[in-house]
Amino acid sequence: MEGPAQDPVEETEQYHWPALESDPEIFTGYMNKLGMSIDWHICEIFGMDDDCLSFVPRPCVGVIVTFERTEDRDDGKPGDGTSSTLVPFYMKQTGTLDNACGIIACLHAIINHISDISLAADSILDKFKKDTADKTPEERASYLEEFKDFQEEHKSYASQGQTEAPTSSEKVNHHFVAFVKNSSNQLIELDGTKDGPAVIQDDCEDLLKGVATELQRRLAAGNITESLSMMALSKKA
């Protein structure tokens, strides 16, 4: 398996990706720098009630959620390891990418709606998408691990934010996942730690309401704590 034709960031030690703060401005700047169209942004979702959801710009093609899991949890379906037909793109979160769940969630949201979101030609995102199109979820993770240009941008944005960024070796309690709708109108959860994409709802009319309903279910069941945040991948108004 071949990775990107670049020198590794560190010759003697595997690069471990530091965590990102759940800040929509940081995520938007990061994704735009990587090549996402400036017509799109990542914005905060302030609550799960209808009034809060009504303020989210449309179209919204992805929801990125960060939450703290409880120890004994069943926080969703396990995922389908043979579900390549559910969505065009899914990648795994390896040990090296343990703290990179934020960027993996963004990749899941953006690349699965590439027909809506244009990428700058020859940008980092464009190269990643093209070079990993025929790879397995595990191979996509390996490719990202070795992608020097991507790593350099990640280090820059991981150092931003109001709170001190954890070191690359520190474990982070919060985890990012992405929710999208597929071509069959199913609500899909994309979590790189699972076996594959998971169908959360078979017939989802509204992405935002579908995600809110699922998170409220998990909160009521005690599967996740109230320490969560939601961001939308939306086209600018």
User: Which residues belong to the active site?
Assistant: 101, 175
Q: How far apart are CA 218 and CA 191, in angstroms?
A: 15
Q: What are the backbone dihedrals phi and psi of residue 109, each rounded to the nearest 5 degrees, phi first?
A: -70, -45
3-state secondary structure of 221: helix
The closest of 55, 63, 64, 79 to 20, measured between CA atoms, is 64
Q: Are 112 and 87 in contact (CB under 8 A)?
A: yes
CA dihedral of 124, 126, 129, 134, whole degrees rounded to 10: -120
CA dihedral of 192, 194, 196, 198, whole degrees rounded to 10: -110
- What burial class does residue 8 get, using C-beta atoms within 10 Å of its C-beta: 0-12 exposed, 13-18 middle, 19+ buried? middle
Can you spell out the DSSP letters for 139-150? HHHHHHHT-HHH
The closest of 136, 96, 139, 91 to 111, measured between CA atoms, is 91
The closest of 136, 134, 65 to 106, measured between CA atoms, is 65
